[in-house]
Amino acid sequence: MIGEKEESIYDVDFVTVNAYMGTDCVKPFIEDCKKYNKGIFILVKTSNPSSGELQDLKLESGEEIYSKVAELVEKWGEELRGKYNYSSIAAVVGATYPEQLEQIRKIAPHTYFLIPGYGAQGGKAEDIALGFDKNGLGGIINASRSLMCAYKSDKWKEQFTEKEYGKATRAEAIRMRNELKESINF
């Protein structure tokens, strides 16, 4: 994402794309990334419990479908690497599957990860650390439910009321930040 590009018709920076229809369906999104200086998150290994029904299936080569998709995402992003050698063609890789997260980081070292599943879905800070490089780069952590519903959690329900959900959200965000700082080099 280098330099100024022409303005797009949608005022968004990234959209999520499903790659399971193949290159010809992903390519128009990649072209828009180039043209408008935008990015896409491509589903690779999602954090939901049933993701393995399709994503973990083995190909004739013995590799899992998610591994093949990760290889494609890395390839598709080669032309869009920026200052820190990461591409705006990015991947969704869930924290709930740390072994796969670590494997995919090796397959796609120049691919930025959107990492859902931290907090309410069970992903831990030490799991998420596997998705980052040695400099603490390469990922965006998503923890929507843990933050939106912090006032209901065992950690905060005695301290904050429903009306103080904003304060509970802030307290949980700070707690998460501190926990992540201990596990990730940033």
Nearest to 95 by CA among 75, 114, 118: 118
The reply to whether 121 and 100 lie within a common domain is: yes
Provide the CATH number for the domain around residue 52. 3.20.20.70
Does residue 8 fall inside a structural domain?
A: no
Instruction: Give the per-residue pLDDT at 5.
Output: 59
Alpha-carbon distance 51 to 101, whole Å? 13
Does residue 179 fall inside a structural domain?
A: yes
Given a cut of 50, the residues of the chain with pLDDT beneath it are 1
Does residue 63 fall inside a structural domain?
A: yes
State the total domains in the chain: 2
Neighbours of 98 (CB within 10 A): 18
Instruction: Give the per-residue pLDDT at 9.
Output: 64
Q: Using DSSP, state whether 64 is helix, strand or coil.
A: strand
Q: What is the pLDDT of residues 136-170, one digit of tens each?
A: 899 999 999 999 999 999 999 999 999 999 999 99
Instruction: Give the per-residue pLDDT at 139.
Output: 94
Does residue 7 fall inside a structural domain?
A: no
The reply to whether 91 and 182 lie within a common domain is: no
The reply to whether 93 and 169 lie within a common domain is: no
Domain coverage including residue 174:
144-186
Instruction: Give the per-residue pLDDT at 8.
Output: 63
